[in-house]
Structure 1
Amino acid sequence: MNKPQILLASSSKYRRQLLSKLAIDFDWASPSIDESPHLGETAQELVLRLAQAKATKLTKTHDHRFIIGSDQVATFGGDILGKPLNHDAAVLQLEKFSGQEIVFLTSLCLLNTQSGKYQLTLEKCKVKFRTLSSSQINTYLLREKPYDCAGSFKSEGFGITLFESIHTEDPNTLIGLPLIKLTDMLIKEGIGPLNN
Protein backbone atom coordinates (compact mmCIF):
# COMPACT_ATOMS: atom_id res chain seq x y z
CA MET A 1 0.00 0.00 0.00
CA ASN A 2 1.35 3.43 -1.00
CA LYS A 3 1.93 6.05 1.66
CA PRO A 4 -0.43 9.07 1.38
CA GLN A 5 1.06 12.22 -0.19
CA ILE A 6 -0.67 14.41 2.41
CA LEU A 7 0.23 14.96 6.04
CA LEU A 8 -1.98 16.88 8.46
CA ALA A 9 0.20 18.77 10.95
CA SER A 10 -2.21 18.44 13.86
CA SER A 11 -3.09 16.15 16.74
CA SER A 12 -6.68 17.46 16.79
CA LYS A 13 -9.24 14.70 16.29
CA TYR A 14 -11.68 17.36 15.07
CA ARG A 15 -9.35 18.45 12.27
CA ARG A 16 -8.82 14.80 11.31
CA GLN A 17 -12.58 14.27 11.16
CA LEU A 18 -12.98 17.34 8.99
CA LEU A 19 -10.20 16.35 6.59
CA SER A 20 -11.76 12.89 6.28
CA LYS A 21 -14.81 14.56 4.71
CA LEU A 22 -12.71 15.22 1.59
CA ALA A 23 -12.24 11.45 1.06
CA ILE A 24 -8.48 11.74 0.51
CA ASP A 25 -5.76 9.57 2.02
CA PHE A 26 -3.66 11.34 4.63
CA ASP A 27 -1.43 10.77 7.61
CA TRP A 28 -1.26 13.04 10.65
CA ALA A 29 1.35 14.02 13.20
CA SER A 30 1.67 16.59 15.95
CA PRO A 31 4.12 19.39 15.10
CA SER A 32 4.80 20.23 18.77
CA ILE A 33 5.70 23.91 18.42
CA ASP A 34 5.69 26.83 20.84
CA GLU A 35 2.37 28.59 20.19
CA SER A 36 3.06 31.61 22.39
CA PRO A 37 2.39 34.97 20.72
CA HIS A 38 5.36 37.19 19.92
CA LEU A 39 5.57 40.63 21.49
CA GLY A 40 3.28 43.02 19.62
CA GLU A 41 1.92 40.28 17.36
CA THR A 42 -1.74 40.62 16.31
CA ALA A 43 -4.15 37.69 16.42
CA GLN A 44 -4.08 37.47 12.61
CA GLU A 45 -0.28 37.53 12.48
CA LEU A 46 -0.15 34.85 15.19
CA VAL A 47 -2.42 32.31 13.50
CA LEU A 48 -0.82 32.80 10.07
CA ARG A 49 2.66 32.32 11.54
CA LEU A 50 1.61 29.22 13.46
CA ALA A 51 -0.06 27.51 10.50
CA GLN A 52 3.10 27.93 8.45
CA ALA A 53 5.34 26.93 11.38
CA LYS A 54 3.37 23.73 11.98
CA ALA A 55 3.66 22.67 8.35
CA THR A 56 7.36 23.60 8.14
CA LYS A 57 8.26 21.82 11.40
CA LEU A 58 7.22 18.42 10.07
CA THR A 59 9.35 18.66 6.90
CA LYS A 60 12.31 17.66 9.08
CA THR A 61 10.79 14.37 10.18
CA HIS A 62 8.32 13.44 7.40
CA ASP A 63 8.76 13.04 3.66
CA HIS A 64 5.16 13.62 2.57
CA ARG A 65 4.79 15.83 -0.51
CA PHE A 66 2.10 18.08 0.94
CA ILE A 67 1.78 19.19 4.56
CA ILE A 68 -1.32 20.96 5.90
CA GLY A 69 -0.90 23.34 8.84
CA SER A 70 -3.75 25.17 10.56
CA ASP A 71 -4.29 27.26 13.66
CA GLN A 72 -7.19 29.03 15.29
CA VAL A 73 -7.80 31.72 17.88
CA ALA A 74 -11.00 33.27 19.11
CA THR A 75 -11.06 37.01 19.76
CA PHE A 76 -13.37 39.29 21.72
CA GLY A 77 -13.02 43.03 21.27
CA GLY A 78 -9.77 42.37 19.41
CA ASP A 79 -8.23 40.44 22.32
CA ILE A 80 -7.26 36.76 22.06
CA LEU A 81 -9.38 34.63 24.37
CA GLY A 82 -7.56 32.61 26.99
CA LYS A 83 -8.43 29.36 28.74
CA PRO A 84 -10.42 29.84 31.97
CA LEU A 85 -8.86 26.81 33.76
CA ASN A 86 -11.62 26.77 36.41
CA HIS A 87 -15.38 27.13 36.79
CA ASP A 88 -15.48 30.64 38.24
CA ALA A 89 -13.29 32.09 35.50
CA ALA A 90 -15.42 30.30 32.88
CA VAL A 91 -18.59 31.84 34.32
CA LEU A 92 -17.01 35.31 34.06
CA GLN A 93 -16.02 34.72 30.43
CA LEU A 94 -19.46 33.52 29.36
CA GLU A 95 -21.19 36.35 31.23
CA LYS A 96 -19.05 38.77 29.24
CA PHE A 97 -19.96 37.07 25.92
CA SER A 98 -23.72 37.01 26.62
CA GLY A 99 -25.47 38.78 23.74
CA GLN A 100 -22.11 39.70 22.20
CA GLU A 101 -20.09 38.64 19.17
CA ILE A 102 -16.74 36.89 19.06
CA VAL A 103 -14.59 36.29 16.00
CA PHE A 104 -12.74 33.06 15.20
CA LEU A 105 -9.62 33.44 13.05
CA THR A 106 -8.58 30.21 11.37
CA SER A 107 -5.41 30.02 9.31
CA LEU A 108 -4.56 27.41 6.71
CA CYS A 109 -1.23 26.56 5.08
CA LEU A 110 -0.56 23.99 2.36
CA LEU A 111 3.17 23.39 1.94
CA ASN A 112 4.55 21.62 -1.13
CA THR A 113 7.76 20.08 0.20
CA GLN A 114 9.10 19.38 -3.29
CA SER A 115 8.89 22.95 -4.54
CA GLY A 116 9.25 24.60 -1.13
CA LYS A 117 6.27 26.82 -1.96
CA TYR A 118 3.25 27.25 0.23
CA GLN A 119 -0.27 28.65 0.06
CA LEU A 120 -1.44 30.56 3.12
CA THR A 121 -4.85 32.01 3.95
CA LEU A 122 -6.95 33.28 6.84
CA GLU A 123 -10.67 32.67 7.31
CA LYS A 124 -12.99 34.49 9.72
CA CYS A 125 -16.07 33.19 11.46
CA LYS A 126 -18.28 35.51 13.52
CA VAL A 127 -20.37 33.98 16.28
CA LYS A 128 -23.16 35.81 18.10
CA PHE A 129 -23.92 34.51 21.59
CA ARG A 130 -27.43 34.17 22.93
CA THR A 131 -28.37 36.36 25.88
CA LEU A 132 -27.51 33.87 28.60
CA SER A 133 -28.87 33.61 32.14
CA SER A 134 -26.69 32.53 35.06
CA SER A 135 -28.60 29.26 35.17
CA GLN A 136 -27.94 28.57 31.47
CA ILE A 137 -24.25 29.35 31.86
CA ASN A 138 -23.91 27.01 34.84
CA THR A 139 -25.92 24.26 33.14
CA TYR A 140 -23.61 24.41 30.14
CA LEU A 141 -20.38 24.54 32.14
CA LEU A 142 -21.32 21.68 34.46
CA ARG A 143 -22.30 19.52 31.52
CA GLU A 144 -19.26 20.08 29.28
CA LYS A 145 -16.59 21.40 31.70
CA PRO A 146 -14.68 23.30 28.95
CA TYR A 147 -12.14 24.74 31.38
CA ASP A 148 -9.17 23.94 29.15
CA CYS A 149 -10.81 25.57 26.10
CA ALA A 150 -10.21 29.17 25.07
CA GLY A 151 -13.40 31.13 25.64
CA SER A 152 -14.95 28.54 27.99
CA PHE A 153 -16.85 26.59 25.34
CA LYS A 154 -16.49 23.81 22.77
CA SER A 155 -18.14 24.90 19.55
CA GLU A 156 -17.85 21.36 18.16
CA GLY A 157 -19.82 20.03 21.11
CA PHE A 158 -22.65 21.17 23.38
CA GLY A 159 -21.26 24.71 23.17
CA ILE A 160 -23.22 25.19 19.95
CA THR A 161 -26.30 25.73 22.16
CA LEU A 162 -24.75 29.00 23.40
CA PHE A 163 -24.86 30.58 19.94
CA GLU A 164 -27.59 32.67 18.37
CA SER A 165 -25.98 32.79 14.92
CA ILE A 166 -22.84 31.93 12.97
CA HIS A 167 -21.57 33.94 10.00
CA THR A 168 -18.91 32.38 7.79
CA GLU A 169 -18.20 31.37 4.21
CA ASP A 170 -17.37 27.84 5.34
CA PRO A 171 -19.00 26.20 8.40
CA ASN A 172 -15.94 23.97 8.84
CA THR A 173 -13.91 27.06 9.71
CA LEU A 174 -15.51 27.25 13.15
CA ILE A 175 -14.27 23.77 14.05
CA GLY A 176 -10.78 24.51 12.81
CA LEU A 177 -10.15 23.53 9.17
CA PRO A 178 -11.58 25.57 6.26
CA LEU A 179 -12.31 22.77 3.79
CA ILE A 180 -13.51 24.99 0.94
CA LYS A 181 -10.21 26.92 0.86
CA LEU A 182 -8.25 23.70 1.37
CA THR A 183 -10.01 22.17 -1.64
CA ASP A 184 -9.02 25.25 -3.69
CA MET A 185 -5.40 24.83 -2.59
CA LEU A 186 -5.35 21.12 -3.43
CA ILE A 187 -6.86 21.80 -6.87
CA LYS A 188 -4.06 24.32 -7.55
CA GLU A 189 -1.59 21.53 -6.79
CA GLY A 190 -3.42 19.14 -9.14
CA ILE A 191 -4.61 16.84 -6.36
CA GLY A 192 -8.13 18.09 -5.73
CA PRO A 193 -10.56 15.66 -4.08
CA LEU A 194 -12.66 15.55 -7.28
CA ASN A 195 -9.69 14.56 -9.47
CA ASN A 196 -9.73 10.99 -10.79
Structure 2
Amino acid sequence: MSPPPLILASTSPYRRTLLERLGLPFATAAPEVDERPHPGESPSDLVQRLAAAKARAVAAHHPDALIIGSDQVACLDDAILGKPGDHTTAIAQLEHASGRCVLFLTGLCVLDARSGQAQILVEPFRVHFRALSRARIEGYLERERPYDCAGSFRSEGLGIALFERLEGDDPNALIGLPLIRLIPLLEAAGHYPLGC
Protein backbone atom coordinates (compact mmCIF):
# COMPACT_ATOMS: atom_id res chain seq x y z
CA MET A 1 0.00 0.00 0.00
CA SER A 2 1.44 3.39 -0.99
CA PRO A 3 1.90 6.07 1.68
CA PRO A 4 -0.37 9.11 1.68
CA PRO A 5 0.80 12.24 -0.15
CA LEU A 6 3.01 14.45 1.99
CA ILE A 7 2.16 18.13 2.51
CA LEU A 8 4.10 20.76 4.39
CA ALA A 9 1.64 23.17 6.02
CA SER A 10 3.87 26.18 5.54
CA THR A 11 4.86 28.86 3.07
CA SER A 12 8.24 29.29 4.79
CA PRO A 13 11.08 28.97 2.28
CA TYR A 14 13.33 27.88 5.17
CA ARG A 15 11.12 24.93 6.13
CA ARG A 16 10.64 23.96 2.48
CA THR A 17 14.42 23.90 1.93
CA LEU A 18 14.91 21.76 5.04
CA LEU A 19 12.27 19.21 4.01
CA GLU A 20 13.78 19.01 0.51
CA ARG A 21 16.93 17.56 2.14
CA LEU A 22 15.06 14.32 2.82
CA GLY A 23 14.46 13.71 -0.90
CA LEU A 24 10.78 12.87 -0.45
CA PRO A 25 8.15 14.25 -2.82
CA PHE A 26 5.91 16.78 -1.08
CA ALA A 27 3.68 19.75 -1.74
CA THR A 28 3.23 22.90 0.31
CA ALA A 29 0.03 24.60 1.38
CA ALA A 30 -0.58 27.83 3.25
CA PRO A 31 -2.39 27.29 6.56
CA GLU A 32 -4.91 29.95 7.56
CA VAL A 33 -4.23 30.18 11.29
CA ASP A 34 -4.35 33.02 13.81
CA GLU A 35 -0.88 32.88 15.37
CA ARG A 36 -1.52 35.17 18.33
CA PRO A 37 -0.89 33.56 21.72
CA HIS A 38 -3.78 32.93 24.07
CA PRO A 39 -3.76 34.82 27.40
CA GLY A 40 -1.43 33.04 29.83
CA GLU A 41 -0.31 30.49 27.23
CA SER A 42 3.24 29.25 27.71
CA PRO A 43 5.64 29.36 24.75
CA SER A 44 5.75 25.53 24.69
CA ASP A 45 1.96 25.27 24.64
CA LEU A 46 1.79 27.97 21.97
CA VAL A 47 4.09 26.20 19.49
CA GLN A 48 2.37 22.84 20.04
CA ARG A 49 -1.06 24.39 19.50
CA LEU A 50 -0.01 26.31 16.40
CA ALA A 51 1.84 23.37 14.81
CA ALA A 52 -1.29 21.24 15.21
CA ALA A 53 -3.62 24.04 14.09
CA LYS A 54 -1.58 24.58 10.90
CA ALA A 55 -1.66 20.86 10.11
CA ARG A 56 -5.41 20.65 10.73
CA ALA A 57 -6.14 23.76 8.65
CA VAL A 58 -4.39 22.17 5.65
CA ALA A 59 -5.92 18.73 6.32
CA ALA A 60 -9.38 20.25 5.84
CA HIS A 61 -8.49 20.67 2.14
CA HIS A 62 -6.37 17.51 1.82
CA PRO A 63 -8.22 14.71 3.67
CA ASP A 64 -6.05 11.91 2.25
CA ALA A 65 -2.64 13.41 3.06
CA LEU A 66 0.01 13.28 5.73
CA ILE A 67 0.45 16.86 6.91
CA ILE A 68 3.51 18.40 8.59
CA GLY A 69 2.83 21.48 10.71
CA SER A 70 5.49 23.46 12.52
CA ASP A 71 5.79 26.65 14.52
CA GLN A 72 8.66 28.31 16.36
CA VAL A 73 9.22 30.93 19.03
CA ALA A 74 12.33 32.45 20.50
CA CYS A 75 12.25 33.16 24.25
CA LEU A 76 14.37 35.47 26.38
CA ASP A 77 13.50 36.18 30.02
CA ASP A 78 10.24 34.23 29.58
CA ALA A 79 9.19 36.69 26.86
CA ILE A 80 8.58 35.65 23.27
CA LEU A 81 10.74 37.32 20.62
CA GLY A 82 8.76 37.41 17.40
CA LYS A 83 9.85 38.23 13.89
CA PRO A 84 11.15 41.79 14.10
CA GLY A 85 9.63 43.03 10.86
CA ASP A 86 11.85 46.14 10.81
CA HIS A 87 15.36 47.40 11.50
CA THR A 88 14.60 49.16 14.79
CA THR A 89 12.98 46.10 16.34
CA ALA A 90 15.81 43.86 15.11
CA ILE A 91 18.39 46.12 16.77
CA ALA A 92 16.46 46.00 20.04
CA GLN A 93 16.17 42.18 19.91
CA LEU A 94 19.86 41.64 19.21
CA GLU A 95 20.95 44.16 21.85
CA HIS A 96 18.75 42.35 24.37
CA ALA A 97 20.21 38.95 23.34
CA SER A 98 23.83 40.17 23.45
CA GLY A 99 25.90 38.00 25.81
CA ARG A 100 22.87 35.93 26.77
CA CYS A 101 21.13 32.64 25.96
CA VAL A 102 17.99 32.58 23.83
CA LEU A 103 15.77 29.48 23.93
CA PHE A 104 14.12 28.44 20.67
CA LEU A 105 11.11 26.13 20.86
CA THR A 106 9.93 24.44 17.69
CA GLY A 107 6.56 22.73 17.69
CA LEU A 108 6.14 19.82 15.27
CA CYS A 109 2.93 18.05 14.31
CA VAL A 110 2.57 15.15 11.88
CA LEU A 111 -1.11 14.63 11.18
CA ASP A 112 -2.58 11.72 9.24
CA ALA A 113 -5.63 13.44 7.80
CA ARG A 114 -7.23 10.08 6.97
CA SER A 115 -7.45 8.98 10.60
CA GLY A 116 -7.10 12.32 12.37
CA GLN A 117 -4.19 10.89 14.38
CA ALA A 118 -1.62 13.54 15.27
CA GLN A 119 1.86 13.21 16.74
CA ILE A 120 2.93 16.47 18.40
CA LEU A 121 6.20 17.40 20.08
CA VAL A 122 8.39 20.37 21.01
CA GLU A 123 12.10 20.50 20.20
CA PRO A 124 14.21 22.94 22.27
CA PHE A 125 17.41 24.58 21.05
CA ARG A 126 19.57 27.13 22.87
CA VAL A 127 21.64 29.86 21.26
CA HIS A 128 24.37 31.52 23.34
CA PHE A 129 25.11 34.95 21.88
CA ARG A 130 28.46 36.68 21.90
CA ALA A 131 28.66 40.13 23.47
CA LEU A 132 27.61 42.28 20.51
CA SER A 133 28.44 45.94 19.99
CA ARG A 134 25.92 48.21 18.32
CA ALA A 135 28.30 48.53 15.33
CA ARG A 136 28.41 44.74 14.87
CA ILE A 137 24.64 44.47 15.15
CA GLU A 138 24.19 47.24 12.57
CA GLY A 139 26.76 45.60 10.28
CA TYR A 140 25.02 42.25 10.52
CA LEU A 141 21.55 43.68 9.86
CA GLU A 142 22.84 45.72 6.93
CA ARG A 143 24.24 42.61 5.27
CA GLU A 144 21.57 40.02 6.03
CA ARG A 145 18.28 41.86 6.77
CA PRO A 146 16.73 38.98 8.78
CA TYR A 147 13.50 40.85 9.52
CA ASP A 148 11.34 37.79 8.79
CA CYS A 149 13.20 35.57 11.29
CA ALA A 150 12.37 35.07 14.96
CA GLY A 151 15.18 36.54 17.04
CA SER A 152 16.47 38.73 14.17
CA PHE A 153 19.06 36.36 12.68
CA ARG A 154 19.57 33.54 10.19
CA SER A 155 21.76 30.81 11.65
CA GLU A 156 22.21 29.26 8.21
CA GLY A 157 23.80 32.50 7.03
CA LEU A 158 26.01 35.17 8.55
CA GLY A 159 24.00 34.94 11.79
CA ILE A 160 26.36 32.17 12.89
CA ALA A 161 28.93 34.92 13.57
CA LEU A 162 26.68 36.26 16.35
CA PHE A 163 26.96 33.09 18.43
CA GLU A 164 29.34 31.87 21.08
CA ARG A 165 27.89 28.37 21.04
CA LEU A 166 24.81 26.32 20.16
CA GLU A 167 23.15 23.74 22.36
CA GLY A 168 20.62 21.18 21.19
CA ASP A 169 20.03 17.83 19.52
CA ASP A 170 19.05 19.05 16.04
CA PRO A 171 20.48 22.22 14.46
CA ASN A 172 17.67 22.10 11.89
CA ALA A 173 15.23 22.96 14.68
CA LEU A 174 16.85 26.36 14.90
CA ILE A 175 15.94 27.01 11.26
CA GLY A 176 12.36 25.87 11.84
CA LEU A 177 11.93 22.14 11.18
CA PRO A 178 13.55 19.48 13.44
CA LEU A 179 14.39 16.84 10.82
CA ILE A 180 15.94 14.36 13.26
CA ARG A 181 12.66 14.19 15.21
CA LEU A 182 10.57 14.31 12.01
CA ILE A 183 12.14 11.28 10.30
CA PRO A 184 10.73 8.56 12.62
CA LEU A 185 7.30 10.18 12.46
CA LEU A 186 7.38 10.07 8.67
CA GLU A 187 8.68 6.50 8.63
CA ALA A 188 5.80 5.42 10.86
CA ALA A 189 3.48 6.69 8.11
CA GLY A 190 5.36 4.93 5.29
CA HIS A 191 7.66 7.74 4.07
CA TYR A 192 11.25 6.46 4.18
CA PRO A 193 14.00 8.94 3.29
CA LEU A 194 16.58 6.10 3.13
CA GLY A 195 14.26 3.54 1.56
CA CYS A 196 12.34 0.74 3.31
Normalising to structure 2: TM-score of the pair?
A: 0.92
Q: Percent identity?
A: 51
Instruction: Quote how far apart the aligned CAs of 1:181 are.
Output: 0.9
1:4·1:26 contact (CA, 8 Å) conserved in 2?
A: no
Whole-angstrom distance in 2 between the partners of 1:28 and 1:64: 15
1:4, distance to aligned residue in structure 2 (A): 6.8
Aligned length: 195
Offset of residue 59 of structure 1: 1.6
2: CA distance between counterparts of 1:117 and 1:103?
29
Matches of 1:17 and 1:69 in 2, distance apart? 15
**SS at the partner of 1:24?**
coil
| 1:89 CA drift (Å) | 3.2
Instruction: Assess, with a 3 A threshold, how the Cα gap between structure 1 residues 115 and 86 changes in structure 2: closer, same or farther.
Output: closer
Are the equivalent residues in 2 in contact too, given 1:94–1:152 (CA < 8 A)? yes
Shift of 1:136: 0.8
Residue aligning to 1:76: 76
Q: What RMSD, in angstroms, separates the aligned Cα atoms of the two structures? A: 1.9
Greater shift after overlay, 145-154 or 155-164? Answer: 145-154
For 1:59, give the aligned amino acid.
Answer: A
Whether 2:37 is the aligned partner of 1:31: answer no
Shift of 1:146: 2.7
Q: Structure 1's 172 and 147: CA in aligned 2 closer, same or farther, altered over 3 A?
A: closer
Q: Matches of residues 101-120 of structure 1 in structure 2 within 5 Å? A: 101-120=101-120
* Aligned match of 2:138: 138
Question: Per-residue displacement from partner, 1:123-167 (whole Å, max 9, x unpaired)?
Answer: 000000011122111111222223343322223332221111111
Tell me how far apart the structure 2 counterparts of residues 115 and 96 of structure 1 sit (CA, whole Å): 45
- Consecutive unaligned residues of structure 2, counting only runs of 5 or more, are none
Q: Aligned partners of 2:33 and 2:13: how far apart in 1?
A: 18
Q: 1:180 maps to which residue?
A: 180
Supply the distance in 1 between the matched residues of 2:67 and 2:148 (Cα, whole angstroms): 27
SS of 1:74's equivalent in the other structure is strand
- Match for residue 49 of structure 2? 49
The aligned residue for residue 194 of structure 1 is 194
